[in-house]
Structure 1
Amino acid sequence: MATNTLAADRHELLTTTLAGATEPCWIVDPTPEMIEAVVDVASDGDTTGQLRLVAAEDTLKTAFEGFLVASRTADLVADNEIAVRTGAATNTNSLVITEDAVTAVVAAGEQVAGLRTDDPEFVATTREEIADHWADAEPFRLRTPAISEIRATLRDDIGPAVREDFDTVLRSIETAGDDIALDEVAISLVIAAKNEVLLYDISKWGEDVGIASKATFSRTKSRLEDANVITTEKVPIDVGRPRLRLQLGDDQLKAAATTDLAAVADERLR
């Protein structure tokens, strides 16, 4: 007999609901918060069957505005652990549909409940309907590169120390949640400045891997300079205009632990 689930958050609810599922499972009409929780659960290795997300395009765009969520999703899509499609919203609540149950997700603040039924006829009918809905839905194109590719190319093209600092800053931002709003370009430039990397090198890497264009890196560099987060030093080269070496803006930033860099930079940009 099916039992409803009360959970502290969406991550806990999904972990419980998806436990043991081996066939593809659908997450239908998820909110951006639900999508983030799905990506967290899948990234933690707590699922075995493919997760199929289908949501309105605006919802998906909102969810994947965040670099961490989008880049981790790109990895999961590449590994065939998640598939993402756009479709018109059809339900009031998010649904989690496994091979043997349908769960409606109801949120009350941080706490969430899963209203679950395992009636075989209802589950079979629902799966048939969502399979048709899935077949009609369009694949959603993620514009953010996979985090594994970003890390590997950063190590190879710029250096292992920069890659290590990048990971440290990402972990600090993930821990801080919504309190830090630096985007991926600003993060890359701050880490490059900590390691005194040339603007040309970091912006070329960013454009090649698909993070942003060189022009976007240049505009963000100017914004960080205006806030005294970074500064630049001209470096002569044999032919052509001097290139710019990135450096942190002042002694406070230079003395800050890597785990605090994002918070200090974000505060100055506000």
Structure 2
Amino acid sequence: MSLTTDEDLIEQNVSAVCRAVLDDATETVLAMGFSADGVEELLDVLGDHDDPPAVRLLVTEPVLKTVTSDFTVAGTAADLVTADVLSLRTTEGRLDGPLLCTDEAIVSVVAADGRAAGLVTRDEEFVATARSQYTERWEAADAFRLRTPPLDRVRETLDDEFGPDLRADFERMRTALGEERGTSDVDEVVISLLAAAKNEQLLYDISTWGENTGLASRATFSRKKATLEEHGLIDTEKVPIDVGRPRLRLLLGDERLHEADTDELVGVAQSMLSTASS
């Protein structure tokens, strides 16, 4: 269902309401007052859209911090920001919403009983006044800086630096990491190190890639490597070089990691780290 009539939108979920609004939009859309879950659904719709309109998202800072604590969600948002599709701002004040404001309609998004509704107002004078007020709030809000690199850049640079096998391993672990949200011991740096170890790459190379890409500093990679090595998840071997200290090649450690499918490595690593810290 699209937003081509004055009828309210009754959909299966918030994503479907957002999709209907964005499909109909021809100008920049203002989105505000969404919860963390609502922001994620909006990002999913934008990421899947063939030709999305520009979206200005205004929410509270705790909402965006919650959303961007997940690597995949933050990376998707960074892709959209890089493509000039998404702009992020935060405010400490109370926000109306959740709502979507197009150039022709104001849509209040309401979820109840497992479904969602978009309550549509198309009165031209009201929409113009509301859009003006919401634009003023947007312009007075604080820009939100993402610290996560765009997923497209992560994929492309992994492929360029290490080849498709390591990139594919990283991608499968990244997907598994998203499914195990709330895991505190396994993060994007850990899965980078595990992917490098599975493909027997050098610590220097993967940590340099991570720093150049904006994933994490080389010092962070070194600390994470030490933790994984301490708990038996990875081993290292010295690789001589012409000048300077030998480099360290990363190898998978425990036999459980060797036997696990790539999709299972995140769960096995988390189990090992949790057991070791308990």
Instruction: Calculate the TM-score normalised by the size of structure 2.
Output: 0.88
Deviation of residue 185 (structure 1)?
Answer: 0.6
State how far apart, in whole Å, the 1-side matches of 2:17 and 2:233 are.
41
Say yes or no: does 1:20 pair with 2:17: no
What's the CA shift for 1:4? 3.2
Q: How many residues align?
A: 269
* SS of structure 2 residue aligned to 1:240: coil
Task: Name stretches of at least 5 consecutive residues in structure 2 with no aligned partner.
Answer: none
Distance 2:207 2:263 in 1: 23
Q: Select 1:189's aligned residue among 193, 196, 199.
A: 193
Q: Decide which of 202, 206, 209 is 1:202's aligned counterpart.
A: 206
The answer (yes or no) to whether the contact 1:29–1:89 under 8 Å persists in 2 is: no
Q: 2:181 aligns with which of 178, 202, 219?
A: 178
Amino acid at match of 1:88: E
- Aligned counterpart in structure 2 of residue 266 of structure 1, from 262, 265, 270: 270
CA distance in 2, matches of 1:114, 1:6: 6
Task: Give me the whole-angstrom Cα distance separating, in 1, the residues matched to 2:6 and 2:150.
Answer: 38
How large is the Cα RMSD of the aligned pairs? 2.1
What residue number does 2:44 align with?
Answer: 40
Provide closer, same or farther for how the CA distance between residues 36 and 207 of structure 1 changes in structure 2, counting only shifts above 3 A: same
Please give the per-residue CA displacement for 1:147-205, whole angstroms capped at 9, x wherever unaligned: 1111111112223321122222223334x252655321111111111101111110111
State the partner residue of 2:138.
134
The answer to whether the aligner puts 1:57 opposite 2:61 as a matched pair is yes
Match status 1:231 vs 2:235: yes
CA contact (8 A) 1:22 1:48 kept: no
Partner of residue 224 from structure 2, selected from 220, 223, 228: 220
Pair 154,27 (structure 1): closer, same or farther in 2 beyond 3 Å: same
Q: Which amino acid aligns with 2:227?
A: R
Q: Which residue of 1 aligns with 2:256?
A: 252
Instruction: Output the CA distance in 1 between the equivalents of 2:81 and 2:268.
Output: 33
CA change 1:113–1:223 in 2 (3 A) is: farther
> Sequence identity, in percent?
43
Residue 95 of structure 1 is aligned with which of 93, 99, 104?
99
Aligned partner of 2:167 in structure 1 is 163
Distance 1:267 1:116, change over 3 A: farther
The structure-2 alpha-carbon separation of the partners of 1:86 and 1:190, relative to structure 1 and needing over 3 Å to count, comes to: same
The 5 A counterparts of 1:98-117 are 98-108=102-112, 111-117=115-121
Q: Which residue type is aligned with residue 184 of structure 1?
A: E
When structure 1 is superposed on structure 2, of 130-139 and 73-82 the one drifting more is 130-139
Please tell me the residue identity of whatever aligns with 1:264. Answer: V
Q: When the two structures are superposed, what TM-score results if normalisation uses the length of structure 1? A: 0.90
Question: Secondary structure of 1:178's partner?
Answer: coil
1:74-119 deviations in Å (ceiling 9; x for gaps): 1111111111122234335311112222122233475433333222
SS of residue in 2 equivalent to 1:19: helix
